[in-house]
Amino acid sequence: MSAENIRVILVHTTHPGNIGGVARAMKNMGLSRLILVEPREYPAPEARWRAASAGDVLDAAEVVSSVEEAIRGAQFVVGTSARERRIPWPVQDARRCGERIQGHASRGEEVAIIFGREDRGLLNEELELCNLHCHIPSHESYPSLNLAMAVQILCYEVRMAGLGGVDDAAEDDDWDTPFAPAEDMARFYLHLEETLVDIGFLDPKAPRQLMRRLKRLYNRVRLDEMELNILRGILSETQKHQRPRDP
C-alpha cells in the first residue's frame, strides 16, 4: 500500500500534546510512520492522552537528531511553509500536494512530509532539502494553524487522492532508474559547492544565493541515481584538472 511509503516528520515540536494530536490525525487517514526530530518533551503523558486510540502510532514513532536523518532514503520530500521566501520555491496547495504525494508513493517511492516548529515553521536550510513546498491558504485574518490541524488537512488530501485513484506521477512512469534519495543529493550539493569554489566560480566569502538557487534547480528537476552519478563524475574530473598536479 502507498501509505507504507509515506512518513510524517515533526521538527522540534514544543508541546507534547501536539505530537499526540498528530498521531491521531495520521491514524484517521491511514498513515502510521511518524518521525520526531528532537522534540522538546517526549515521551510524555499529554501526548499519549491526546493520541486517544492512536497509541500504536506513538509506540512506533522514531526519534532522530536531525532533519537529514529523518528524510534519509526519501526520494520525494515535501516541506510545509506558511510564508513567502526571498527565493521562490515550487509551492502548491494541500490538495495538489496530496495528489503528488499519493502519486509518487503509489509507485513505490519513499515520500517524506516535513512539518516545522509551532512558532516559526521550517528554517530556510530545512526547506532547501525539499522538492516541493506545501502551503495551506488559510484566511488572512487568522492564518495560523495548529500543528495537528495542518497535518490533518494534508493527510486528508493524500487519502482523498488515493480513494479517487489519482496517479500524479505519470511523468515518471516506467522510469529506468530509481530517483536519488535525499542523502545522496546532500552529498552531491557538498561536492558541487566544493567544485565551484575550486574553479573560482563561487566565492565562499560572498556566496550570495548561488547554492540556494542551484538546490532549487536540481530539487525541482529530481535526479535519478544514474544522472546523479554522471554529474558527480563530471565534478570529480573537473577537480582533477583544476587542482595542481604533483611535480
pLDDT tens digit sequence for 107-149: 999 999 999 999 989 999 999 999 999 999 888 898 889 999 9
C-alpha to C-alpha distances, 16 to 47, 72, 166, nearest whole angstrom: 5, 24, 34
Rounded Cα distance, 121 and 136, in Å: 13
Structural domains in the chain plus CATH codes: 2-172 (3.40.1280.10), 182-242 (1.10.8.590)
For the stretch 174-220, pLDDT in tens is: 678 999 999 999 999 999 999 999 999 999 998 889 999 999 999 99
Nearest to 172 by CA among 109, 112, 113: 109
Are 77 and 112 in contact by the 8 Å Cβ rule? The answer is yes
The answer, yes or no, to whether residue 1 has pLDDT greater than 60, is no
Distance CA 114, CA 7 (A): 9
Is the model's pLDDT at 246 over the cut of 80?
Answer: no
pLDDT of residue 175: 77
- What does the pLDDT read at residue 208? 82
* Residue 101 to residue 145: CA distance in whole angstroms: 21
Q: How far is CA 168 from the centre of its chain?
A: 18
Residues forming beta bridges with residue 224, ordered by sequence position: 179
Supply the mean pLDDT for the chain: 91
Q: Check whether 173 has a pLDDT greater than 70.
A: no
- Taking the C-alpha atoms of residue 92 and residue 44, their distance in angstroms, rounded to an integer, is 34
Rounded to 5 degrees, φ, ψ at 163 are -65, -30
Q: What's the pLDDT tens digit per position in 87-113?
A: 678 889 999 999 999 999 999 999 999
What's the confidence (pLDDT) of residue 247?
A: 47
The reported pTM is: 0.88
Handedness of CA 42, 44, 50, 55 (dihedral sign): positive
- DSSP letters for 100-129: HHHHHHHTT--EEEEE-BTTTB--HHHHTT
The set of cell numbers assigned to 107 is 509507485
Residues 6 or more apart whose CB falls under 8 angstroms from that of 223 comprise 179, 180, 185, 188, 231
High-pLDDT (> 70) share of the chain, %:
91
Position 172 scores a pLDDT of: 60
User: Where is average pLDDT lowest: 44-48, 111-115, 192-196, 243-247?
Assistant: 243-247
Q: Across the strands, what pairs with 22? A: none
Contacts of 15 (CB under 8 A, 6+ apart): 40, 41, 46, 118
Residue 167, number of CB atoms within 10 A of its CB: 15
